[in-house]
Amino acid sequence: MGLSELLAGFAEVFQPQVLLLAFLGCLAGTMVGVLPGLGPVSAIAILFPLTAYLGPAAAIVVLAAIYYGAMYGGSTSAILLKIPGEVSSLPAALEGYPMTRRGRAGTALAIAAGASFVAGIVGTIGVWLIGPHLAGFALEFGPPEMLGLVLFSLTAIAGLSSGSVVRGIGMAVAGMLLASVGLDLTSSQQRMTFGSLELMQGLDIVPVMIGLFGVAEVLRTLERGTPVAQAAKVGGFLPTRDEFRRSAGAAGRGTVTGFLLGLIPGMLPSTTTFLSYASERRRAERKGNSRFGQGAVEGIGGPEAANNATAMSGFVPLFSLGIPTGPTMALIMAALMVYGVVPGPTMFTSDADITAAVIASFFVANVILLVLNLPLAGVWAKIARVPYGVLGPVILVCCGVGAYTARNSVFDIVVCLVAGVAGWAMGKRGLPVAPFVMGFILGPMLELSLRQTVAISPMSLVESPIFLCFAAAALVSVWVAYRLHRKGVEKVDANA
């Protein structure tokens, strides 16, 4: 994708109606993101029905804006109220809230917004530059190579995004089994339908995702209750020269590491955020001037940059290979499929106009959020203090509407509610949801590529160096995840 295509994408985005949609997406995403526990995945799941009647390009622009807005909103409530909107906003709460108590909330918000803005712009440039080259490489993939890629993605996500490798792989298999419900189009055999006409159609991804992330999060929040937040004064936004220097260096390091690690399936923004936070803390301790725990600006700039850079880099494998790197990318992939856009190499060839508009919207959304969030920080804090007894029912209604809109089916509302209860139960039992989601998304792709490979020749697996590389990478990812899990268990035993 050259500069001319990107400029054409900007021309599409700068149309008044698309620009307004991007603004509304940023606004809506931020409003949901500031609410306790409702991060980007929940925001997209809840607001998905708002995009049901838009065109493909406009819909993805809105979803991407919601994604960005929710990430910004999570850090805002974390800094002002010490209520992280999501897991990846926890470092912002640890270091930003002490600054708020000292009357420096505006400075903390400015550092978080600036780091996120820089990381988002750099990440968008990375998607534009790397995506077409990776897509060109993926055009050489046949069924054996695609089988290896899906296997690696599933094992990496199952291992890296969960504590236990066995639980992660087990949940991925459960997701694949659930995705196989319905009528097998190849053999016309019914699979796990139990004679139900509704189940013969299969389970649609939209109500399942809305239930797992939207309904389940409402149930969890109602169960544990929400903390009572105190009003906070924002104050001035301008950091000192020393704060700017320290936060800028951390943001640069977080941007590079977050983007590179985000290309790996299973490396979620929450993971890279904590990696960046730990790295910056060790760096400060080695220098002997650590302010961590008392309002260290490095603990805000680095993790916030890593968070946004990882979020952006996830679009590279999604657009180029058709492989989502986490639940949020899986929802965006589902939206692409709903609008008839097939994620993969064709997004940079036959669907290049849509892709160019989406990439251009990333630039625009970053600017909108930078301008939007700082002046309205006090408003977002007030929204976060709205009683959840009011917000919970509203969110549940939105989830029900979104589930029904997918196929205009009351059965999908039931699926959404069941998925919500199942997601809540998974959280209670410590079962990871991300591998389950990826199994549900990638299961049909795995089955199709396996069938095609067997139809060609099973020997094509050992004759394909790309498949062998992916298979080796899958084994390495399982081994690394196992070692990390064992170290965690040994550390807990040592502290017991």
pLDDT at 41: 74
Report which listed range, 41-45, 98-102, 334-338, 373-377, is most confident. Answer: 98-102
The DSSP result for 51-62, as a single string, is GTTS-HHHHHHH
Instruction: Using the predicted structure, report yes or no on whether residue 455 has a pLDDT greater than 80.
Output: yes
pLDDT at 289: 67
| Phi and psi torsions of 190, nearest 5° | -85, 140
pLDDT at 492: 42
Say how far apart CA 212 and CA 416 lie, in whole Å.
Answer: 8
Report which listed range, 329-338, 393-402, 466-475, is most confident. Answer: 466-475
pLDDT at 142: 83
pLDDT at 283: 83
Q: Tell me the per-residue pLDDT of 107-156, one tens digit each, with 9 for 90 and over.
A: 888 888 888 888 889 988 988 888 888 888 777 778 888 888 888 888 87
Percent residues over pLDDT 70 in the chain: 87
Tokens of 450: 């396996």
Say how far apart CA 82 and CA 96 lie, in whole Å.
Answer: 8
Q: Tell me the per-residue pLDDT of 304-357, one tens digit each, with 9 for 90 and over.
A: 888 888 888 888 888 888 888 777 787 778 777 777 777 888 888 777 888 888
Location of structure tokens 């490396």: 267
Tokens of 79: 């800094």
The DSSP output letter for 462 is H
Confidence of residue 493 (pLDDT cuts 50, 70, 90): very low
Instruction: Using the predicted structure, report yes or no on whether residue 47 has a pLDDT greater than 80.
Output: no
Alpha-helical (H) ranges within 212-268 are 216-224, 241-262
Nearest partner of 318 among 289, 291, 272, 351, judged by Cα:
351
Say how far apart CA 222 and CA 387 lie, in whole Å.
Answer: 11
Instruction: Using the predicted structure, report yes or no on whether residue 162 has a pLDDT greater than 70.
Output: no
Mean pLDDT of the chain: 80
Of residues 324 and 51, the one with the higher pLDDT is 324
Least confident interval from 185-189, 279-283, 416-420, 436-440: 185-189
3-class DSSP state of 173: helix
3-class DSSP state of 309: helix
pLDDT at 418: 92
The DSSP output letter for 190 is E
Confidence of residue 67 (pLDDT cuts 50, 70, 90): confident
Q: How far is CA 49 from CA 26, 56, 226, 252, 353, in A?
A: 16, 14, 26, 36, 24
Residues whose CB falls within 8 Å of the CB of residue 197, separated by 6 or more in sequence, listed in order: none
pLDDT at 491: 54
Q: What is the pTM assigned to this prediction?
A: 0.79
pLDDT at 421: 92
Confidence of residue 496 (pLDDT cuts 50, 70, 90): very low
Instruction: Using the predicted structure, report yes or no on whether residue 490 has a pLDDT greater than 60.
Output: no
pLDDT at 284: 82
Of residues 264 and 316, the one with the higher pLDDT is 316
Instruction: Using the predicted structure, report yes or no on whether residue 228 has a pLDDT greater than 70.
Output: no
Say how far apart CA 300 and CA 366 lie, in whole Å.
Answer: 18
